[in-house]
Structure 1
Amino acid sequence: MNLENRRLVFILLFVFVGIVFTARLFYMQVVDDKWIERAGEVAKKKITIKPPRGILYDRNGEKIVANKTYYNLMFIEDDIEHLDTLAFSKLIGYSVDSIHLRFAEIRKELDRRTRSKTTGNDTVVNDYRSYLPHAFLKELSADEISEIAMDLSEFKGFYEEPMSMRDYPYPYGANIYGYLNEISGPELNADRRFYRVGDFIGRSGLEKYYEYELRGKKGTKVILTSSRGKLVDNFAGGKLDTNAQQGPPLHLGIDIILQAYGEELMKNKLGSIVAIEPSTGEILAMVSAPSYNPNLMVGTRNIRTNYQKLYKDTLKPFYPRPLAAEYPPGSIFKVVNALIGLQEGVIDENASFPCTRSWVGCHNHPPANSVSKAIQYSCNPYFYYEVKKIIQQGKYSNNFKDAAEGLAIWEKYMHSFGFGIRPETDIFGLRNGVIPNVEFYNHWYGEYRWAFSTIRSNSIGQGEVKLTPLQMANLAAIVANEGFYYEPHLVKSIGNEGPQEKFKVKKYTMVESKHFGAVKEGMRGAVNEAHGTARRARIKDIVVAGKTGTAQNPHGEDHSVFMAFAPFDDPKIAIAVFVENAGFGGTWAAPIASLMMEKYLTGTIADSLKEKRILDQRFTNINE
């Protein structure tokens, strides 16, 4: 056989095989229906298994954010047989008309709009599938599902499906935890590998900041399904299945008993309490008043009922005052200015200035003949004189240029204390506070058209200076530590891994530790010595160091401010209290701080009259 004949045989053979396979494929796909059914039967499908969300514990191991089982009432329309809507309505407590409306609503919920690239018009695409499960009722409690579970078997196509939602054993700390809500379209598009329509996601607080850790890892179950989407069998005996992994627990620095006590003390008041462990930067309590029961924001049913009420409340319970409210710090700011003056060498520990009340008002007290006494007595004129020496150091003959140079130096010190810059704590909603600088005043007054006399109110924590309560508490921690701090944070450990690395970094101010002794002694004297402004902060058998502040408020009564740490020789807690419209800092903020410190350090309160006075006091018209 020649080469040409062989080539012809091979060509005919390939053509014949192609015709046979084509004919067989046509028969299988078009003529014989059983092959279509078989193809559907062996289709693989991955079912996503949702993990439980990570649990939150307080510093003492108390479970403070848990998961609780709820139930969805599910249905598959194709499995429903002769639904007796009247009997069904009696079972679930819906009217017959409401049942029909609910079916229509479910279909509508699954509609999605697509925009044509050619015409630009919207087209509604219905993703409803009658052979797939859908939720008829969502988020039923165990009691609610138990009322219908016994009779549910009489209604073919309906069944119960468990789901997990948050539960708060202690009704406190709402502004710390935040809440969960159904995922939005943009959030879904940002991470479709993990989330599906109807999933819940952290909306605020720790739930949002630690969303990636708390959500855990989803599992998968591979099954064989029919062309109608029904389960035929497990695939490969489950060898390809993966288990869902619950998110790691978060161990917080929060002491839930202290947090609860702080929220009780701040009832009927507006303001904040922030307590920090100085040696670690762990936040022990962070009270935003008024607050709300976090269980009110569990699940879409509760959110629909309560969100608008809380959002429209004129007292703003959603507003995270410890993190976002920027207040004039008042006289607690004198502590910072004293430290800067000592470091810059414009004063020493024994510097003395006259109490010139014609320059600025002051209360009666003995002569402030040292830094310690000036802080103990909270002498306003003293700090006007002292800060003038910082701002006007005489480096330039031009008074205005000299002030600009001095303010630039002062600003750097402030930033080293964490003021005027955003804290790096593990929660959203933070504000920087305000530290006015050269550019700030140039914008207001013009370049070289202002001097210390223009901005002197900053000397005593008024004027344009503003701090958040978190920054005020961190100032108390810095003084307790004599010049360093860790970024305040809420989570002390993610699982067993410890906190994030940035919370392990020790940060130093520009003030050397040797200058803190005089300031600490002044704060000790303010609480424990004659003519001190913070006598109401005393605690039996515990030496407290503190500083009062009264922040002027152009809109009404002044604000009551206090910061402190204790015990004096071995600080375990640093605290700041800010009570809006409450007047002098020593009257209200100081005793609240002392009660909080005593509660944390001893577990009890010795002065029940002091406690009752605070609990009974109202500065708002909040309805309990």
Structure 2
Amino acid sequence: MQYLEGRKYVVQGIFLVVALIFLTRLFFMQVLDGTYKLAADKNTLQRIVQTPYRGLIYDRKDHLLVQNTAVYDLVVVPREVKQLDSARFCELLQIPIEGLRTSLRAAKKYSRNKPSPIVQNLTTPDLAAILDRLGDFPGFHIRDRMARAYRTPNLAHALGYVGAITPAFLEKPKYAKYQAGENIGISGLESYYEQTLMGRRGVQYKMVNVRGVEKGKFRGGEFDTLSVAGQDLHLSIDAELQAYGEKLLAGRRGSIVAIDPKTGEILAFVSAPHYDPKQLTGKGSGNRYMALLNNPDRPLFDRPLMATYPPGSVFKLVNELVALQLGVVKPETGFECNQRLVHCTHQHEYPANVSLAIKNSCNPYFYQVMRAAVVRGQSPNRFEDARLGLGQWQKMVKSFGLGEKLGVDMSQEKRGLIPSPEFYDKLRGYHHWNFKTVYSLSIGQGEIGITGLQMANVLATIANRGWYVTPHFVRGIGNGGPLPQYRERHYTAVDTAFFKYIIPGMQMVVDGRGGTGNLASLAQFGISVAGKTGTVQNPHGFDHATFAAFAPVEAPKIAIAVFIENSGFGGVSAAPAAGLMIEQYLRGKVAPHRKTWENWVMYGDFTKHLH
């Protein structure tokens, strides 16, 4: 009985607490509702959302790239608007009357009780010109906020931009806490790290009279909450290297991606043509955005992440590693340069081993390497044999981070394509294709497609002898490090012991006599470079040029991939560009006598070598 008696008091206590909470909430709601009736006393309650200070963005050397600057917006709360003299209001604001009507309709559709923007990005002089007379127009208020200001003309594609949240965004539950007119990261890092940069909003309740003059805090501010500033981002980007890369590709179409192999940190991320991030800030940014969007050179297109190309001869490195792992070739295996199988681009010595084959980029050699990897006699049916072999080949190739999104901290990454047996079944029909159908994959052509970021990551994987860390831009958030997924190693399906066999040939490409990548050599500075040139067939014009490398070979600090569209041979255009970037990063400067090559990359007519 005592036990039951005790439980009775506990239950009564719980009911009492719940009742008190309910009454307290009811009282608070009545107080808030009642304040809207204070019009009789010429006062009303205003709920002001305090937007937190957005986090800043720095480069790897702590140079400030993106900061905040104060701007002002004129907003309207529709339910507070009385008789509006539209002509007089538009004269004060210097805006067209039809624009005002459109904005008011949009504001009423959004909310009658919440503020919506009428004019944004007012400067301090703009504000001074209207502030004294704004009290004549009830319902209209000034809201100050922080806008983005860029201290660099570079890196626009990675940084992304911030803009006013759209009605479509506001309808999504994910953005329920945002208000019309607030800024939000639209693209790039600003979008990917929106929650980190944004911080936490605060709220203030103020009493104002009908002319908008503040009469003090509501109930002494007991219901106010403080905002919490967003966290800063510390990027892995080297701002000087980034600026140099954008300078090299100015006037070209293509991309340069440089990665620190040991950490996966992205050092440079060049998309050409590029634009100044300042173009998408301040008054008129909407018009400038449309101009960029309609530009036939597509400067908004993020080539390192979104443009997929056949990798060309650079892909021969991956094919060789897969064949070594399968045991169908050895480092000393030689194949005849049999041009009846596939055309070879130039005369060269007999490819007696993998090093000579890589140095001379012998197409027939790599045709036979992949054939040995795919056609292994796993089925007496030659079509099924090819299906089985290609399926195993595809899985091993994808372990290099190809054919899938790598998971970089940007949302617009493309996955590329490493074709599967099912792909060719759909394209050609089940058991209607064999190795001769897909042989172009052996030299990095055909249906295969990879991004510039993926190619740079392949070179980082080779530099590490078989593993990579997912490439990423942010090396530190606030006072901490990167996100956890950017600290893990990913190993390929190829044993680490095999990678050492392809690197001497890659060194011969750059520093060997007659190597196709000699223009990337930095031997004069004591820097060893391992690389591979590529020429990507293009059915719509001149071929694309590519070159990928890492350096120094003994202790790699940079892996790089360069694509230059419609530039032909990789050794002529992409190789010198990569060599200059590596020199800039490792030495901190480009030697004066190397300016000739700098000018060649920037202004040279690469097409002269294509006839």
Offset at 1:506? 0.5
**Is 2:116–2:181's contact at 8 Å kept on the other side of the alignment?**
no
Q: CA deviation at 1:353?
A: 0.6
Deviation, structure 1 residue 163: 2.4
From 357, 361, 367, give the equivalent of 2:339. 357
Identity over aligned residues, as a percent?
Answer: 40
1:172 and 1:263 in contact (8 A); partners too: yes
| Greater displacement, 478-487 / 212-221 | 212-221
| Candidates 228, 231, 244, aligned match of 2:227 | 244
The answer (yes or no) to whether the contact 1:219–1:243 under 8 Å persists in 2 is yes
1:262-277 equivalent positions in 2, closer than 5 A: 262-277=245-260
Shift of 1:602: 1.0
State how far apart, in whole Å, the 2-side matches of 1:464 and 1:532 are: 28
1:333 partner SS: helix
> Does structure 1 conserve the Cα–Cα contact (< 8 Å) formed by 2:107 and 2:116?
no
Partner of 1:15: none
Which amino acid letter does the alignment assign opposite residue 292 of structure 2? L
Farther-moved stretch of structure 1 (332-341 vs 214-223): 214-223
Aligned letter for 1:346? V
- Code of the residue aligned with 1:459 in structure 2: it is S
Per the alignment, residue 168 of structure 1 pairs with: 150
State the distance in 1 between where 2:299 and 2:37 align. 60
Please show how residues 228-377 of structure 1 align to structure 2 within 5 Å. Answer: 231-299=214-282, 301-362=283-344, 363-377=346-360
Change in 2 beyond 3 A, CA 1:84/1:292: closer
Does the CA contact (< 8 Å) of 1:365 and 1:531 recur in 2?
no
* Over 4 Å off, 4+ runs: 33-45, 73-89, 98-103, 132-136, 154-161, 224-232
Q: Which residue of 2 aligns with 1:29?
A: none
Distance change in 2, residues 1:399/1:254 (3 Å): same
1:456 equivalent among 439, 456, 461: 439
Selected match of 1:149 from 107, 115, 128: 128
Choose from 202, 224, 242 the match for 1:219.
202
Match of 1:597 in 2: 582
Q: Determine the structure 2 residue equivalent to 1:204.
A: 187
Structure 1 residues 458 and 40: CA distance shift in structure 2, 3 A: farther
Aligned residue in 1 for 2:473: 490
Match in the other structure for 1:579: 564
Residues 1:64 and 2:27 are matched in the alignment: no
Secondary structure of 1:575's match? Answer: strand
- Retained in 1: the 8 A contact 2:117–2:180? no
Q: CA deviation at 1:490?
A: 1.0
User: 2: distance between equivalents of 1:84 and 1:324?
Assistant: 47
Gaps of 5+ in 1: 1-32, 114-125
Give the Cα separation in 2 of the matches to 1:297 and 1:290. 16
1:272–1:469 CA contact under 8 A, matched in 2: yes
* Match among 182, 185, 192 for residue 167 of structure 2: 185
Unmatched runs of 5 consecutive residues or more in structure 2: 1-33
- Match for residue 388 of structure 1? 371
**For the residues of structure 1 that align with 2:35 and 2:393, how far apart are their CA atoms?**
85
Find out whether 1:111 has 2:108 as its counterpart. yes
Q: Which amino acid letter does the alignment assign opposite residue 310 of structure 2?
A: P
Larger radius of gyration between Structure 1 and Structure 2: 1
One-letter amino acid of the counterpart of residue 496, structure 2: S
Q: Secondary structure at the match of 2:60?
A: coil
Letter in 2 for 1:592: A
Aligned residues of 1:206 and 1:426 also touching (Cα < 8 A): yes
2-structure distance, mates of 1:453, 1:57: 51
Kindly state the Cα deviation for residue 105 of structure 1 after the two structures are TM-superposed: 4.4
* Conserved 8 A contact 1:217-1:244: yes
**Distance in 1 separating the partners of 2:565 and 2:132:** 58
Amino acid corresponding to residue 106 of structure 2 in structure 1: E
The two structures have a TM-score, normalised by structure 1, of 0.84
Say if 1:154 and 1:99 are closer, same or farther in 2 by CA, change over 3 A: same
Q: Distance in 1 between matches of 2:35 and 2:421?
A: 83
Conserved? CA contact 2:116–2:180, under 8 Å: no
1:251 positional shift: 0.8
Deviations 1:365-395 (CA, angstroms, capped at 9, x unpaired):
1111111111111111110111110001122
The one-letter code of the counterpart of 1:337 is N
The answer to whether the Cα contact below 8 Å between 1:40 and 1:227 also exists between their aligned partners in 2 is: no
Q: Give the 3 Å change call, closer, same or farther, for CA 221–376 of structure 1 in structure 2.
A: same
Q: Which position in structure 1 is the counterpart of 2:390?
A: 407
* Higher deviation after alignment, 555-564 or 396-405: 396-405
Match of 2:508 in 1: 525
Give the length in aligned residue pairs.
564
Asked whether 1:471 is paired with 2:458, we answer no
User: Kindly tell me: are residues 485 and 138 of structure 1, through their superposed partners in 2, closer, same or farther at Cα, counting changes over 3 Å?
Assistant: same
CA distance in 1, matches of 2:424, 2:47: 63
* Equivalence map 1:31-46=2 (5 Å): 37=38, 46=47
Question: Does 2:553 correspond to 1:568?
Answer: yes
Any idea what the Cα deviations from partners look like across 1:224-254, whole Å, max 9, x if unmatched? 5679987543234334432211210011111
User: Residue type matched to 1:564 in 2?
Assistant: A
Shift of 1:222: 3.1
TM-superposition CA deviations, 1:102-131 (whole Å, max 9, x none): 554443332328xxxxxxxxxxxx83x8xx
Once residues 433 and 245 of structure 2 are traced to their aligned partners in structure 1, the CA distance between those partners, rounded to angstroms, is 43
**1:488 match: secondary structure:** coil
Counterpart amino acid of 2:488?
A: V
Aligned AA (2:49): T
Q: Would you say 1:612 and 2:599 are equivalent positions?
A: yes
Q: Deviations over 1:129-161 (max 9, x none)?
A: 8xx9876642134xxx33772785467548865
Q: Deviations over 1:60-114 (max 9, x none)?
A: 101111112223357899999999989995x86x3xxx5655554443332328x
Retained in 2: the 8 A contact 1:523–1:545? yes
